[in-house]
Amino acid sequence: MRPPRPTTSRPLVNESLQSSRADGTTNKQMHFEAYPPEVNSANIYAGPGPDSMLAAARAWRSLDVEMTAVQRSFNRTLLSLMDAWAGPVVMQLMEAAKPFVRWLTDLCVQLSEVERQIHEIVRAYEWAHHDMVPLAQIYNNRAERQILIDNNALGQFTAQIADLDQEYDDFWDEDGEVMRDYRLRVSDALSKLTPWKAPPPIAHSTVLVAPVSPSTASSRTDT
């Protein structure tokens, strides 16, 4: 049987248990099963909720739309140059631009994936919030248990006290399982986010493709 609800406040939202690895580093991981149900339930019910995550998803969506517009504009510019120019210079330009076009395409996919995984995290929170044992139910269990203990001089309430303790243990297990599932869903979403890559230069062989400055163009014309 687990101990009764602690009488002191335990701000465990940001705490974690540590285990040492063979290489001497420390692995931090939340062990929600070790927390009483009133702690896990309070952390979910009293938290700030998903509003900031939803706002972040909207911001990433907006950035995705903007970068998709940039990608389309860049592709249109390349097509216009192909129509206006002729000869090997066009092929050189297209070859030089290929890595950047690929990077833009991958970036738009990545931005969309960030938004998608934020929504997955929000859904994980909503499921956890729905499945968590209500705090009132936990507190009523402990309060009723204490009343029975205070009036159990002859042992007439021993069976009821044991039933309440079993119910409390069930609450403990249920909340721990909900938080484990929550952690796994969030970890799965985060694992799908890949590192950001720097944009490649637009270059052909070892020469950067850059606009000709007005002064250079003028000197070429004069000669």
Where does the pLDDT of residue 29 fall: very low under 50, low under 70, confident under 90, or very high at 90 and above? low
**pLDDT tens-digit map of 132-141:** 999 999 999 9
Where does the pLDDT of residue 22 fall: very low under 50, low under 70, confident under 90, or very high at 90 and above? very low
> What CA–CA distance (Å, rounded) separates 118 from 60?
9
First to last CA, the chain: 95
| CATH annotation of 35-190 | 1.20.1260.20
- Is 213's pLDDT higher than 50? no
Beta strands in 59-128 (DSSP E): none
> What CA–CA distance (Å, rounded) separates 176 from 168?
12
pTM above 0.75, yes or no: no
Q: What is the pLDDT of residue 17?
A: 35
Where are the domains positioned within the chain? Answer: 35-190
Are 126 and 132 spatial neighbours (Cβ–Cβ below 8 Å)?
no
- CA angle 172/175/180 to nearest 5° reads 120
Rounded (10°) CA dihedral 183, 64, 50, 184: -10
Q: What is the pLDDT of residue 89?
A: 79
How many helices, marked H, and strands, marked E, lie in the chain?
6, 4
**pLDDT tens-digit map of 171-202:** 999 999 999 999 999 999 999 999 999 999 88
Q: What is the mean pLDDT of residues 25-39?
A: 74
CA atoms within 13 A on the CB side of 190: 7
Q: What is the pLDDT of residue 92?
A: 85
> What CA–CA distance (Å, rounded) separates 114 from 194?
9
